[in-house]
Amino acid sequence: MSLKAVLFDFNGVIIKDGLIHIQLIDEILVQENLQPQRVQERQAFLGTGSRAYLQNLLKSRGRVVTEAYMMQLLTRKAQAYMLELEKLEKLPLYSGIEDVIFQIRSRHLKMALVSDALSLEIGMVLTSAKLAEYFPVIVSGDDISSNKPNPEGYLLAVDRLNQAYPELDIQPDECLVIEHTPAGIQAAKRAQMQVVGVANTYPFHMLQRQASWTIDYLIDLDLQRVQEVFSEKDVKSIVPEC
């Protein structure tokens, strides 16, 4: 087994935009004649995708909406999100993202992005940050029916990577995922992938219990060591025990 691809989460790994999402969800609730989020609900959002979080919020307010109407709300939020980003002088990208991408590209590994966010949001950020060319495969909230910790998004990313690079025959256990929440880590592990947990949202010790590797900051990722571990597993799989 060798490392062939690195898959990124988006919100919380590439861009630090949690407070913007909280503000926009409050605006949606008010437009729906509902109470804004409570403090504990806002804290919970930082570890949950917008779709699942908004569904839970509406349900807790006694409102059940159809999937079509939920997509309308999420699209409205995505459009407002883009307007908010346009107001900023500089995108709030996490420090170290360019270094990690350099490490990956220098080792000729493939890259993909897997997120519950809509493609409108992802596309604008990647284009504005001049990162779009590095992510030929993107799985967004438009593409999946289940949120993390369901592994659907990560498994779909492997399918798309193999469509783009059929000669590599990439398997899930040949992928490394960079995540920042317990739900994201669980999704990757259920897809049989190794996971780096970066402590952007949750404390280091919480992620350390679940991730294959844990780092405080993206800049701390030692991809060479990760590749060595993948190679060691390959050796152990072919060398018989004495």
Q: Domain residue spans in the chain?
A: 5-15+93-238, 17-87
What mean pLDDT value characterizes the chain? Answer: 92
Residue 233's pLDDT is 67
pLDDT at 44 over 50: yes
Residue 225's CB is within 10 A of a number of other CB atoms, namely 10
The correct answer on CATH 3.20.20.80 for the domain covering 5-15+93-238 is no
- In angstroms, the CA 101 to CA 105 distance is 6
Q: How confident is the model at residue 50 (pLDDT cuts 50, 70, 90)?
A: confident
Residue 234's pLDDT is 57
Mean pLDDT for the stretch of residues 112-140: 96
- In angstroms, the CA 175 to CA 163 distance is 15
E strands along the chain, which residues?
5-8, 110-114, 137-139, 175-179, 194-198, 213-215
Strand partners, 214: 197
